[in-house]
Amino acid sequence: MKKVLSPLFIVAVLALIPYVGVEYAGLDYLFGVVIPYMAAGVLVLGVAYRLVDWLRRPVPYTITSTCGQEKSLDWIRQDRIESPSKRWHAVVRVLSEVLFFRSLFRNNKAELRKGPDLVYGSHKWLWLAGLVFHWSLLVIVLRHARFFYYALPWPIGIIEGVDRFLDVTVPALYITDITVLLGVSYLVFRRLQDAKMRILSLQTDYFPLFLIIGIVLAGISMRYVTKVDVMPVKSLAMGLTEFSLEPPERIGALFYVHLFLVCSLAIYFPFSKLMHMGAIFISPTRIMLNNSREKQHKNPWNTPIRFRTYTEYEEEFRDKMKKAGIPVEKE
Amino acid sequence: MSQYLPKVDELKKELNEKPGVLKGDYSKKEWWELPFEFRDGNFCWPAKPEVVEELGFPNPRKWVATDEDWKLPDGWQKTLKDAMKERFKKYRTLKLYLDSCVRCGACADKCHFFLGTGDPKNMPVLRAELVRSVYRNDFPMVEKILKGFAGARKLDMHVLKEWYMYFYQCTECRRCSVFCPMGIDTAEITMMVREILQLIGINNNWILAPVANCNRTGNHLGIEPHTFKQNIESLVDDIEDITGVTVNPTFNRKGAEILFITPSGDVFGDPGVYTMMGYMLLFEHIGLDYTISTYASEGGNFGLFTSNAMMKKLNAKMYHEAQRLGVKWILGGECGHMWRVVHQYMSTMNGPVDFLEEPVSPITGTKFSNAKAAKMVHIAEFTADLIHNGKLKLDPKRNDHLRTTFHDSCNVARGMGMFEEPRYILNKVCNSFHEMDENTIREQTFCCGSGSGINAEEYMEMRMKGGFPRANAVRKVREKYDVDSLVTICAIDRATLTPLMRYWNPGVSVYGLHELVGNALVMDGEKKRTEDLREEPMAGFDDEGESDA
Amino acid sequence: MRKNILMSAWIALALLLAVGIFMQQESGAGTEPSATASGKSESTSCVYPKEFMKSHHMQVLDEWRHDSVREGDRIHVTPDGREFEKSLNTCLDCHSRNKMFCFMCHQYANVKPTCWNCHLSPMEVTK
């Protein structure tokens, strides 16, 4: 189980670095200003580079995965989402992948029973946990906008209001704090519990999960348990948005653990599978239209080839063709 | 059965008793530590040296997968890595799909080879990981760190053998891609690996021999023009014997309105020939002005399983011949991978084709606007339109001796999206159609287990394993509805499902859709029909008193 | 199977422990004695040290509300013996001298406390 323990160990070490750095070495400036700028730079430039790097490679053929009826005869109902023939069909298709994990919703589980007999059962747990996890993360990230704005933009105000509407605990409990933990726990759990997942998971699959768990726990702890004075946090965040180089006021070390883990995630992001966030928007099997017989698609490198022409063919078989009464070009 | 195939009870026992990840058993080994070995029944013969030479491919030699020494050219690692890099530049898909997999495992139990073998490396995610692990190693600076962390490894003989083993246990059916939340298409990766392996002479005779044949004679089987014609003429005779109707196919006829191209398996293979008879009856019935080419006498395209250039080269004949003969458009027969090529690649590779016209049915006047650019129409689209417009006289009772189910071919399903037309036709020509389990049809259809050029005799064990999920679904409709006829629209299916059914579900026969159309067609001037195209008695037609009018 | 569950439990425990360590050290740091505490009940210093109040005032208020409304325990005794009524008014007695006392920070940090759903806020008190 080295592949589980070693990423866990790495995350623990990553969490200890800022703790020691701030508590014992007074490196507030490094962890509060230098590293966040660096991480943001790596994230933005890295993601941009990866996206450009993907996009400049051509998609030579229309390889749409058709998961529904093609557009053919007028009286046959086309599945416009799963077999898109117009731009907006594909837009809906991709957005439904991005927002609702449409393909994952199809997921089922195959079981090999005695007989032998293969049976398939509905299996939507991954879909549900994945959806809960990703949406929670998104809401949590958006909620953090309150640290970066003087006046909170109203949509974020609404999101925050909804997130805390249960109004239990002081300060009010965010629903997403619970759901993100539930989601991420299931994602870790299934990798350990299912034999297939155990063999196919790599360290790079556990690492971001543990990292996110670390970030979430540090954040939850700061809000509900150990508490932190948010005023210097806010002024640090505001400073960062204004590209200020002012040293931060004194904030608890746990905050730096939280921040440093976030920075680690940001730096790790462009070089890892986390780039699936960008990839899902440009996956050729999903974004392309199933109109490859209707419209001419261009392959930018369409290498010319020499094929065996009819003339060459007739040259070899002319006598046999004539004998068999097959018409030929040259008698 | 052959030495390449265990008895069915042995295989059943293996599936029942052998522990595996599919049943929740975890061996505590990482996937790259799992052993594998080539043995009778799990590898295809490599291409014969003369075939490799004829095609001008590198490294022709005598070898087999079980050899210790594969006689590879010096620097083969560099050749493969360079070839990979080149293809990463040409295909966004490869780079994107290697980069963005999150190993969520949704694809794991979707692969028919995984379900049939239980081998973890047949989970699509790990199949791609075979390449991904090498590709990661190409960042030399962080190689040391990545080795443990990201599972990077060197391209060595072990990895190469693994590639040869597992990329021929993928039939490019794209079922995994349907379930992948990222839309990752393992077929893209399989196609690339098979293509670059050709560069160092690692290949498959069952693919390259048909490729060489197709290039020279126009069809996979290497049938020369006179024999091709002769064979179709013998089918014409059979039709006359059975129905009393004479059909008149023409060959290489200039000025015909439509060029008809179908896989050569329909001309030569049993049970494909009955489908061919169905086509000819249909064309006679509607008086279609069509011709068949002996030069472009192959709908299938094993180039798809070889290399991009080879696919293009073999496909080029279709348009070339259509132009020479001066036809208006092309009609294509029932086939799976042929339609992947025709639908998704053809006009991009070898178009645009200004010398052809937008296809219009000469019988119904229907414009096939979905084929406006490629100018090639699928026979099921064509026939469905005929039936819908009431142009065919059909008697579905003539198929009452069959109880049918329908197998969607992977390529037509997931690479074209044709689901309704064949079902519409099937429901019009027979009274007994029952669908299989919803997880095994339409976009979720299972491969026959032998697609993508692996239907070799010596590969029988793997084929029966890979086809098990399909056979299992057929068994269930057989038990429930007494189904005995598996209808397909794919020539490879007709060739491969037949032994699959014989092995797993004896008593189930494989039919082409247009064979059933041929059975049901009420022809002008026909004699009283009592037998179907296979000369098997139809139900309820032998008694003198009954009428089929 | 059992091993899998054990392993998951182990990992959860490890993570909890790791965070637990931080939490303990953190709260230790938060209760540092404050230099401004004085011995008089009419004092000018707060019920808890200023640093502690900055991060914990919402929890103190919540606790007070609970104690006084639910338990009938209305008196807060500081470690140095001063007594205060557990009431928001106790806070406002001192802190409403600056009407903006609560709002400056809450606004700055985009925090919306629920106090003023029931209580009259200093902003609404006309003087």
Tens of pLDDT, residues B107-128: 999 999 999 999 999 999 999 9
pLDDT band for position C13 (cuts 50, 70, 90):
low
Domain assignment present for residue C94? The answer is: yes
Stretch A306-322: mean pLDDT: 95
Nearest residue of chain B to residue A115 (CA atoms): B16
Tokens 């229309």 correspond to A62
The full DSSP string for C8-26 is HHHHHHHHHHHHHHHHHHH
Max intra-chain CA distance, chain A: 99
Position B535 pLDDT exceeds 60: yes
Per-residue 3-state assignment (H helix, E strand, C coil) for B327-348: CCEEEECCCCHHHHHHHHHHHH
Chain segment B243-281, per-residue pLDDT in tens: 999 999 999 999 999 999 999 999 998 899 999 999 999
Would you state the pLDDT for residue A331?
79
CB contact under 8 A, A226 and C8: no
The full DSSP string for B12-32 is HHHHHHS--GGGT---S--GG
Position C102 pLDDT exceeds 80: yes
* Tally of CB atoms within 10 A around B237: 10
**Amino acid at residue number B54:** E
Would you state the pLDDT for residue A66?
96
Choose the mutation target among A11, A74, A93, A196 for the interface with B, i.e. most B CBs under 10 Å.
Answer: A196
C-alpha–C-alpha distance, residues B277 and B280, integer Å: 5
Query: Which residue ranges form the domains of chain A, and what is each CATH number?
Result: 2-300 (1.20.950.20), 307-331 (no CATH)
Chain segment C67-88, per-residue pLDDT in tens: 998 999 999 998 888 889 998 8
Backbone angles phi, psi at A212, to 5 degrees: -65, -40
Selecting from A75, A200, A297 the residue whose C-beta is nearest the C-beta of B105 gives A200
Domain ranges of chain B: 8-203, 208-388, 396-520
User: What letter does residue C33 receive in the DSSP assignment?
Assistant: P
Q: Report chain C's C-alpha Rg in angstroms.
A: 20
Q: For residue C73, what are the domain limits?
A: 48-127
Residues 6+ positions from C100 with CB-CB distance below 8 Å: none
User: Coil, strand or helix: which one is A289?
Assistant: coil
Residue A96, token pair as written in the block: 């439904």
Domain assignment present for residue C34? The answer is: no
Stretch C4-21: mean pLDDT: 50
Would you state the pLDDT for residue C33?
29
C-alpha–C-alpha distance, residues B471 and A222, integer Å: 58
Would you state the pLDDT for residue C45?
81
- Which residues of C are less than 8 Å from A214 in CB distance? 15, 18-19
Residue C23, phi-psi category: left (phi > 0), alpha (psi -120 to 50), beta (remainder): alpha
C-alpha angle B167/B170/B172, rounded to 5°?
Answer: 115
- Which of A144, A206, A185 is CA-nearest to residue A9? A206
Count the helix, strand and coil residues of chain B and give each as a percent rounded to the nearest 5.
50, 5, 45
Per-position b or e across C67-83, b if 16+ CB within 10 A of its CB: ebeeeeeeebebeeebe
Stretch B22-27: mean pLDDT: 87
Chain segment A196-252, per-residue pLDDT in tens: 999 999 999 999 999 999 999 999 999 999 889 999 999 999 999 999 999 999 898
Stretch B46-65: mean pLDDT: 95
Stretch B330-349: mean pLDDT: 96
Q: Are B511 and B402 in contact (CB under 8 A)?
A: yes
Q: For B310, what's the count of Cα atoms within 13 Å in the CB-facing half-sphere? A: 29
Domain assignment present for residue C39? The answer is: no
Residue B319, token pair as written in the block: 């348009």
C-alpha–C-alpha distance, residues B442 and B408, integer Å: 6
- Which of A208, A177, A225, A209 is CA-nearest to residue A270? A208
CB contact under 8 A, B443 and A62: no
User: What letter does residue B46 receive in the DSSP assignment?
Assistant: P
**Cis bond upstream, residue C122 (ω within 30):** no
- Which residues of A are less than 8 Å from C58 in CB distance? 170-171
Residue B428, token pair as written in the block: 């019009």
Position B62 pLDDT exceeds 80: yes
Selecting from C12, C14, C55 the residue whose C-beta is nearest the C-beta of A228 gives C55
Would you state the pLDDT for residue C100?
84
Q: Average per-residue pLDDT in chain A?
A: 94
The distance of Cα B191 from the centroid of its chain, to the nearest Å, equals 14
Would you state the pLDDT for residue C9?
54
Residues 6+ positions from B7 with CB-CB distance below 8 Å: B1
Whether C118 and chain A come into contact, CB under 8 Å, resolves to: no
CB contact under 8 A, A66 and B417: yes
Chain segment A68-85, per-residue pLDDT in tens: 999 999 999 999 999 999
**Cis bond upstream, residue B46 (ω within 30):** no
**How large a percentage of chain B has pLDDT more than 90?**
89
pLDDT band for position B146 (cuts 50, 70, 90):
low
**Amino acid at residue number B359:** P
Whether B108 and chain A come into contact, CB under 8 Å, resolves to: yes
pLDDT band for position B137 (cuts 50, 70, 90):
low
- Which residues of C are less than 8 Å from A207 in CB distance? none
Selecting from C7, C29, C111 the residue whose C-beta is nearest the C-beta of A1 gives C7
Residue B184, token pair as written in the block: 């990752």
Give the DSSP H/E element, type plus range, for residue A109.
strand A108-113
* Beta-strand pair B485-488/B509-512: parallel
pLDDT band for position C40 (cuts 50, 70, 90):
very low
Tokens 């700055």 correspond to C108
Tokens 């979905």 correspond to B370
CB contact under 8 A, A221 and C55: no
Higher pLDDT, B480 or A167: B480
Stretch B69-73: mean pLDDT: 95
Domain count, chain C: 1
**How large a percentage of chain A has pLDDT more than 70?**
100
Residue C18 Cα, gap to closest chain A Cα (Å): 7
Q: Average per-residue pLDDT in chain B?
A: 93
- Which of B446, B434, B448 is CA-nearest to residue B497? B448
Backbone angles phi, psi at A119, to 5 degrees: -125, 150
Stretch A255-271: mean pLDDT: 96
Residue A231 Cα, gap to closest chain C Cα (Å): 7
The full DSSP string for B166-222 is HTTS-----HHHHH-TT---HHHHHHHHHHHHHTTT---HHHHHHHHHHHHHSSTT-
C-alpha–C-alpha distance, residues B193 and B81, integer Å: 11
Chain segment A101-143, per-residue pLDDT in tens: 999 999 999 999 998 999 999 999 999 999 999 999 999 999 9
C-alpha–C-alpha distance, residues C29 and C22, integer Å: 11
Position C2 pLDDT exceeds 60: no
Which of residues 330 through 359 in chain B touch A, CB cutoff 8 A?
Answer: 342-345, 347-349, 351-352
**Amino acid at residue number B182:** M
Position C93 pLDDT exceeds 90: no
Give the DSSP H/E element, type plus range, for residue B95.
helix B92-99
Would you state the pLDDT for residue B141?
52
Position B418 pLDDT exceeds 70: yes
Residue A295, token pair as written in the block: 């419209």
Chain segment B486-501, per-residue pLDDT in tens: 999 999 999 999 999 9
CB contact under 8 A, A310 and B294: no
Nearest residue of chain A to residue B119 (CA atoms): A196
- Which residues of A are less than 8 Å from B424 in CB distance? 76
* CATH architecture entry for B208-388: Up-down Bundle (1.20)
Would you state the pLDDT for residue C38?
32
Would you state the pLDDT for residue C36?
33
Stretch B217-244: mean pLDDT: 94
Domain assignment present for residue C19? The answer is: no
CB contact under 8 A, C8 and A152: no
- Which residues of A are less than 8 Å from C1 in CB distance? 193
Whether C8 and chain A come into contact, CB under 8 Å, resolves to: yes
- Which residues of C are less than 8 Å from A149 in CB distance? 110
Would you state the pLDDT for residue C30?
30
Tokens 């080539």 correspond to B38
Residue A173, token pair as written in the block: 């409990």
Q: Are A272 and A43 in contact (CB under 8 A)?
A: no
pLDDT band for position B511 (cuts 50, 70, 90):
very high
Please give the C-alpha separations between residue A297 and each of A303, B288, B321, B344, C86, in angstroms, as whole numbers: 15, 31, 22, 9, 76
Would you state the pLDDT for residue C24?
37
Residue A20, token pair as written in the block: 């020691």
**Amino acid at residue number B193:** V
Q: What is the CATH number of domain B396-520?
A: 3.40.50
Tokens 């689901």 correspond to B419
Residues in chain A: 331
